[in-house]
Amino acid sequence: MSSVNLKDKDFDKQHIWHPYSSMTKPLPCYHVKSASGVRLHLDTGQSLIDGMSSWWCAIHGYNHKDLNDALIKQVNIMSHVMFGGITHDPAIQLCRLLVELTNPKLECVFLCDSGSVSVEVALKQAIQYWDSKEQPEKKKFLSIKRGYHGDTFGAMFVSDPQNSMHSIYTSYGPDNIFAEAPQVGFGDEWDETDIEDFKQKIKKHHKIIAAVILEPVLQGAGGMRTYHPQYLKRVRELCDKYNVLLVLDEIATGFGRTGKLFAQEHAGICPDIMCVGKAITGGYLTLAAVISTRNVANVISGGRTGCFMHGPTFMANPAACAVSVRNLEIIKTGAWETQVHNIEKILQKKFKPLMESGHRKIKEIRVLGAVGVIEMNNQIDVALYQKSFVDLGVWVRPFGKLLYIMPPYIISEEDLNHLVDSLISVATDDSLP
């Protein structure tokens, strides 16, 4: 029988390569027919409470009327136009909002396609900055272990070289510099020795370092680890001392996820370059932005090329920009602050008994803003654990040793309670390996 005549699920299994999966031994896929609010509706008729916000981007849930209307309106006007030599209202409105919402020192916006691409842009900006200052030897990057910045080529090589999914590619790319991961947690008492390894690395290598790049306060796909804001503050001070740019990857943390609009605000600092993505469109379309200081932009523009050499085909896509504008207008109302605070309170309350009693399978439980993490002692069987979650009526996508949730901000208390109860139930189920 021709492959094109296969049933949808069989065709999917044979021909479609899903993320972080195998074509010969694919993980099970659940067929979503529609989504609304915080629920994913499967082809079986079952509805699942979404604990992942579709990899952390759908902060207002699904099928949101205001976002739908903004997108439909723009598609009927102009779905796309190139950005080279052309500008348009949605891009101008979006960049105006980004400049307004971020630190006053961040003034210049470069729009791009996705979070990983925004990291590529930031790395290129850092390299071109020093080339423009006639210091081309400053081309390495200093990062911290357990970090993750995306799957594109440059992003892989500023992510943890050993404990990430990219270790197979290590020998093919640049040899960057990595400090030990911070050990003092977000709410713990600060210990100055935690910054010591980073301090020694930047002191030794600053003459060849273009920029430090890290995720502020919360390391995402590298382990869902939190660290103390004072660490971030010290990093900013050391970058200033040793004349190194600071790039903050706010792709996962930006737009309220940690309880601040941007996670850098926990430390009261400003980067030279910032990457944002994921939640920028409310989960509707792929879009990201790189926002830099005027100094970075001016130095690059005054260099030997006279311009920044990057220009994606779908840069500043009008439809994506329009839905982002409406999304940021919703964020400007401030409702997210109460929503995230309430989620954090419920997570802390629900996890507290288990945190106090402990469990033989669980290593640690962490909460920050609208993020709840259970780190297990052993590697998780993703397919088995995921089926257990689906059987309980929730969508949770585990990885490594981690069971975690980052739900849409609009989730109700009832749904959140069920989501957390399900997380605890699966984590403590002795019948699961």
Give the pLDDT confidence of 230-288 residue by residue, as tens digits. Answer: 999 999 999 999 999 999 999 999 999 999 999 999 999 999 999 999 999 999 999 99
pLDDT, average across residues 180-193: 98
306: left (phi over 0), alpha (psi -120 to 50) or beta: left
Give the residue from 332, 357, 383 where a domain finishes.
332
Domain annotation covers residue 354: yes
- 388-401: b (≥16 Cβ within 10 Å) or e: bbbebebbbbbebb
Q: Which of 146, 213, 172, 174 is nearest to 400 (CA)?
A: 146
pTM of the full structure: 0.97
| Active-site entry in 113, 278, 284, 350 | 278
Rounded CA-CA distance 292/264 in Å is 14
Q: Which residues pair with 214 in a beta bridge?
A: 248
- Asked if residue 227 has pLDDT above 90, the reply is yes
The sign of the dihedral angle between the CA atoms of 309, 310, 313, 319 is negative
In 331-401, DSSP assigns E strands to: 362-368, 371-376, 394-395
Between helices 89-101 and 318-332, what is the axis angle to 10°? Answer: 40
Percentage of the chain surpassing pLDDT 70?
Answer: 99
Task: Give CA–CA dist 356/348, Å, rounded.
Answer: 12
20 is catalytic: yes
Percent of the chain at pLDDT above 90? 95
Region 301-310 average pLDDT: 95
Listed in sequence order, the residues at least 6 apart from 143 whose beta carbon sits closer than 8 Å to its beta carbon are 149, 158, 159, 160, 176, 177, 178, 179, 212, 213, 214
Q: What is residue 217's DSSP assignment?
A: S
Radius of gyration of the chain (CA): 22
| Cα 261 from chain centre | 14
Point out the domain boundary residue: 332, 363, 381.
332
Q: Look up residue 163 and give its two tokens.
A: 């404990």
The answer on pLDDT for 197 being more than 50 is: yes
316 and 179 inside one domain: yes
Phi-psi region of 61 (alpha: psi -120 to 50; beta: other; left: phi over 0): left
Residues 193 and 232 in one domain: yes
In whole angstroms, give the CA distance from residue 359 to residue 172: 41
Could you tell me if residue 284 is inside a domain? yes
Task: List the one residue out of 20, 297, 251 whose CA is nearest residue 115.
Answer: 251
Q: What CATH number should be reported for the domain holding residue 78? A: 3.40.640.10
pLDDT (mean) for 87-100: 99
Query: In the chain, how many domains are there?
Result: 2
Q: Is 18 inside a domain boundary?
A: no
Are residues 416 and 293 part of one domain?
no
Where is the domain boundary, 280, 305, 332? 332
Whole-number Cα distances in Å, 163 to 117, 168, 372: 22, 11, 21
Compute the mean pLDDT over every residue in the chain, rounded to the nearest whole number: 97
Name the band, by pLDDT with cuts 50, 70 and 90, for residue 173: confident
pLDDT of residue 2: 58
Residue 16 lies in a domain: no
Same domain, 245 and 103: yes
Q: What is the mean pLDDT of residues 23-37?
A: 96
Residue 371 lies in domain: 31-63+336-427
Active site residue 231: no
CB 385 within 8 A of CB 353: no
Mean pLDDT of 283-310: 97
Q: Are residues 187 and 326 in the same domain?
A: yes
Lowest mean pLDDT, pick from 14-18, 167-171, 287-291, 323-327: 167-171
pLDDT reported for residue 162:
79
145 flagged as catalytic: no
Is residue 323's pLDDT more than 90?
A: yes
Least confident of 22-26, 393-397, 406-410: 22-26
Q: Give 403's Cβ-side CA count (13 Å radius).
A: 32
Pairwise CA distance, residues 53 & 409, whole Å: 9
Residues 315 and 346 in one domain: no
Residue closest to 393 by CA, chosen among 46, 101, 26: 46
**Measured distance CA(212)–CA(433) in Å, rounded:** 39
Asked if the model's pLDDT at residue 292 lies above 70, the reply is yes
Which one is catalytic: 62, 148, 284, 404? Answer: 148
* Residue 131 confidence (pLDDT) above 90: yes
Question: Which of the residues 113, 194, 249, 272 is marked catalytic?
Answer: 249
pLDDT of residue 170: 83
Please indicate, yes or no, whether residues 229 and 368 belong to a single structural domain of this protein.
no
pLDDT of 1 above 70: no
Does 4 have pLDDT greater than 70?
Answer: no
Annotation marks residue 404 as catalytic? no
190 shares a domain with 165: yes
